[in-house]
């Protein structure tokens, strides 16, 4: 029974990160455009938090669980995390999105500005068109694509809950929740906000209702709670592989920040003064500084 309760809590944490994606679409209830400065800053904050939590949280935990000598399992996990993101990118590059990404290049509603959220432009256009038309087949394809894209983030959330129930955590809803899990959930949630905005942009241009944009944004992150539950179940079942799990999550997160988050933030801020570097650096600094208390708890 305790395991079921823990799995439910981890799923809820993953669901919180998915719902945060919907927040990115909420500004369109009030304005027609959303500031690139805000998006770049959020990318910076999320990146700073993720790198700090990964290096000083996940890696530290992995080393603590490594049984004497060279932490082979944790290093293997780091490399496996990097490999998963790399393979995922190549799989997505090889997905045939049909004609959706190559339709009417005459500046129609889905031929929009860069998404700035780590999504391929064709992928965002496909999701917008599928929701506009209510095309179930395309929505299933999208969910498969998004599962590949979002799984590492869900894994990071799930692994961060590895010490759930142990002394020293925060008391939340009767559970002793690891501080690392709280901050990883917050980090992924912050990262998901600009993703939601990017997803909503083409849908707003197509005239979809505001609530459909929110629903589509949340839909795009639904694989995260599933990934969180799978990862938590694995590290709970095979405690000997905890160093691998922590390393895996850390490797995936840091690699995602280096290869997707920061490049996409700079692409989003390309038209800003100084190409958005001030907003990105300010966000990075804010993210790192916000994590300082964690390093000394």
Q: Could you tell me how many residues make up the chain? A: 297
Burial class (CB in 10 A: 0-12, 13-18, 19+), 30: exposed
Cβ(128)–Cβ(149) below 8 Å:
no
Cβ(263)–Cβ(44) below 8 Å:
no
Structure tokens at 43: 């990318």
Question: CA dist 227 to 11, 158, 175, 210, 222, Å?
Answer: 9, 7, 21, 28, 9
Q: How many helices (H) and strands (E) does the chain have?
A: 13, 2
Strands (E), the chain: 170-172, 175-177
Exposure string over 196-220, b if 16+ CB within 10 A, otherwise e: bbbbbbbbbbbebebebbbbbbbbb
d(CA 64, CA 176): 20
pLDDT at 125: 60
Written as tens digits, the pLDDT of the chain (297 aa) is 688 899 999 999 999 999 998 998 888 888 776 678 888 888 888 888 888 888 888 888 888 877 665 588 889 999 998 998 888 777 766 665 554 444 443 444 444 444 444 455 556 666 666 666 666 666 666 666 666 667 788 888 999 998 887 776 788 878 889 888 888 898 888 878 877 887 787 777 777 788 888 888 888 888 899 999 999 998 888 777 888 889 998 998 899 889 888 888 888 888 888 888 999 999 999 988 887 776 655
d(CA 232, CA 150): 16
Phi, psi of 104 (to 5 degrees): 25, 75
Quick one: DSSP state of residue 98? T
CA dihedral 259, 74, 188, 87 (to 10 degrees): 40
Cβ(170)–Cβ(179) below 8 Å:
yes
pLDDT at 36: 80
d(CA 192, CA 22): 8
Structure tokens at 285: 């600094």
Question: CA dist 265 to 50, 103, 108, 152, 197, Å?
Answer: 15, 26, 24, 19, 13
Structure tokens at 283: 């966000």
């Amino acid at each position: 029974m305790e395991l079921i309760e823990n799995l439910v809590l981890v799923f809820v944490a993953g669901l919180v990160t998915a719902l945060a994606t919907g927040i990115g679409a909420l500004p369109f209830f009030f304005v027609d455009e959303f500031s690139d400065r805000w998006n770049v800053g959020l990318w910076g904050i999320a990146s700073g938090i993720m790198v700090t939590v990964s290096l000083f949280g996940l890696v530290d935990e992995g080393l603590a669980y490594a049984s004497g000598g060279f932490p082979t399992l944790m290093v293997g996990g780091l490399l496996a995390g990097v490999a998963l993101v790399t393979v995922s990118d190549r799989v997505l590059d090889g997905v045939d999105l049909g004609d959706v990404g190559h339709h009417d290049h005459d500046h129609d509603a889905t031929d929009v500005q860069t998404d700035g959220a780590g999504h391929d432009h064709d992928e965002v256009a496909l999701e917008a068109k599928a929701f506009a038309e209510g095309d179930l087949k395309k929505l299933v394809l999208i969910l498969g694509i998004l599962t590949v894209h979002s799984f590492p983030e869900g894994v990071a959330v799930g692994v961060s809950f590895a010490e759930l129930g142990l002394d020293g955590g925060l008391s939340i809803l009767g559970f002793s929740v690891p501080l690392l899990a709280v901050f990883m959930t917050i980090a992924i949630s912050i990262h998901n906000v600009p993703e939601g905005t990017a997803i909503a942009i083409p849908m707003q241009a197509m005239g979809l209702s505001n609530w459909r944009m929110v629903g589509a944004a949340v839909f795009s992150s639904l694989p995260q709670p599933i990934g969180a539950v799978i990862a938590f179940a694995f590290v709970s079942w095979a405690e000997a592989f905890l160093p691998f799990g922590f390393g895996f999550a850390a490797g995936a997160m840091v690699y995602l920040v280096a290869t997707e988050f920061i490049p996409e933030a700079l692409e989003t801020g390309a038209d800003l003064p100084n190409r958005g570097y001030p907003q990105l650096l300010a966000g990075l600094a804010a993210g790192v500084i916000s994590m300082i208390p964690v390093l000394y708890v």
